[in-house]
Structure 1
Amino acid sequence: MPPLATENVQDYPRPPALEPVPHQLRVMLNGEIVAETTRALRILETHHAPTYYFPPEDVRAVLIPVQGTTLCEWKGRAAYFDVQAGSKTARRSAWSYSSPDARFHALASHVSFYASAMDACFVGEERVLPQPGNFYGGWVTANLQGRIKGAPGTEQW
């Protein structure tokens, strides 16, 4: 598996890019692997940490639909899920686009997880940090440079 290349989040495009991930991804909750894949996709958007999406067949957790949606100007309407692993439930901790806009059609039904709500998330062997703030779902890895959006005062730029 190739090492994570240095990337500057300020160089990511707007509108965002969608690309395959050449690394294994893993999400842990309650001591269980709730999702694991080598077939992920990621979204790269200016000033954001990459957001990773798992094919639905690589998600092992029980996903419980919850009320409420959000609208992304690029991808369309997202639905949210509680993630259940054994006796533990992480509330509103995953999302998916069942019918994304045409440019992001490959994301259909793929699932993304908030790293802040999981016990651990990994890109390759690197444990990620959650993107700052409580709205965006990017995964921060050590190879990222530049200012990442999400902390107080950065939401509107």
Structure 2
Amino acid sequence: MTTHPGARALRATPEGLLWEPTERWVRGRKGDVTVVDSRRPVLVWEPELPVPQYAFPREDVRTDLLRPAEKPRTGLHTGSRIFYDLHVDDDVRPNAAWVFPADDLAGHIAFEWFLRPERGLDHWYEEDEEIFVHPRDPHSRVDALPSSRHVIVEIDGTVVAETRAPVVLFETALPPRYYLPPEDVRLDLFEPTDHSSRCPYKGIARYWSLRGGQDVPPNLLWSYPDPLPAVSVIKDRLAFYNEVVDLVVDGERLERPVTPFSSALSS
């Protein structure tokens, strides 16, 4: 049987890393300087991280901008011992890059990205689309589907939204999120905040808090005014954290889920 040249399989290293090649064109920039430009990166999953990272062949990296780290951050990245500081003009990003301690990946360099933007590059692109926070996981899906479900949102017994025209967003490892038409949300009960977040699958979100809502977490309502093309159907729609509001869907009151966001929302 002939294997299709695009077929991939996850590979494991003795150190506990999982990795696979990808055919995506990936670039990383610090300011106006392109530091990485690769058409053959690999995706790497570390045991302690829920999302993948990219590692790039050395020849696709501006290694002339890297210097051995003055204070290597040993103990991170599955025991990596080789770290680099990034020097671009007069700006130095300590420990911006490293080499994974695996023979399979010895010829590759990875860059800080997930949760540590101050140590990494400023902008990342997959093909010509800018990507935020972390690379997209090819084994995860995000599907935004128009629906006619009857959705009621309550906070402390008060109905704050009701619709029969939601868009239901299904994202791997998270509960469904119900994106509601603005006219079906009582926005008079909420006030906009300065908070924002970035998602590699959806884009940049803005937030609202409940007015006088001392007993509920802030920033519990959000919207994507300019979502990425794959989920354009959620543009300007509003969604609540299922973790802190009460949802009644088609007459059934849903249990509040426990997710990676739960601890942050309760603190």
TM-score if structure 2 supplies the norm length? Answer: 0.42
Residue 21 of structure 1, CA deviation:
2.3
Matched with 2:88 is none
Paired residue for 2:241? 114
Match for residue 232 of structure 2?
105
Where relative contact order (Cα < 8 A, 6+ residues apart) is larger, the structure is 1
Q: Tell me how far 1:22 sits from its aligned partner.
A: 3.0
Amino acid at match of 1:28: E
Unpaired runs of 5+ residues, structure 2, are 1-138
Q: Give the drift of 1:88.
A: 4.2
Preserved CA contact (<8 Å) 1:76 1:97: yes
- 1:73 aligned residue: 200
CA distance in 1, matches of 2:228, 2:258: 26
Gaps of 5+ in 1: 1-12, 137-149, 151-157
Instruction: Please state how far the C-alpha of 1:43 moved relative to its aligned partner.
Output: 1.0
Q: 1:60 aligns with which of 186, 205, 224?
A: 186
Checking the alignment, whether the CA contact within 8 Å between 1:114 and 1:130 is kept in structure 2 is no
Partner residue, 2:148: 22
In the other structure, the counterpart of 1:46 is 172
Task: Give the Å deviation of 1:68.
Answer: 2.1
Aligned-residue CA RMSD in angstroms?
A: 2.2
Is contact 1:51-1:112 (8 Å) kept? yes
Q: Does 1:35 find its partner at 2:161? A: yes
Q: Distance in 1 between matches of 2:233 and 2:183?
A: 14
Q: How many residues align?
A: 122
Q: 1:96 aligns with which of 220, 223, 229?
A: 223
Q: In the TM superposition, what is the alpha-carbon distance from 1:127 to its structure 2 partner?
A: 1.1
Matched, 1:130 2:263: no
Counterpart residue type for residue 26 of structure 1:
I
Percent identity between the two aligned chains:
28
Question: Partner amino acid for 1:34?
Answer: V
Q: TM-score, normalised by structure 1?
A: 0.68
Distance 2:260 2:203 in 1: 20
Structure 1 partner of 2:210: 83
Structure number, greater radius of gyration: 2
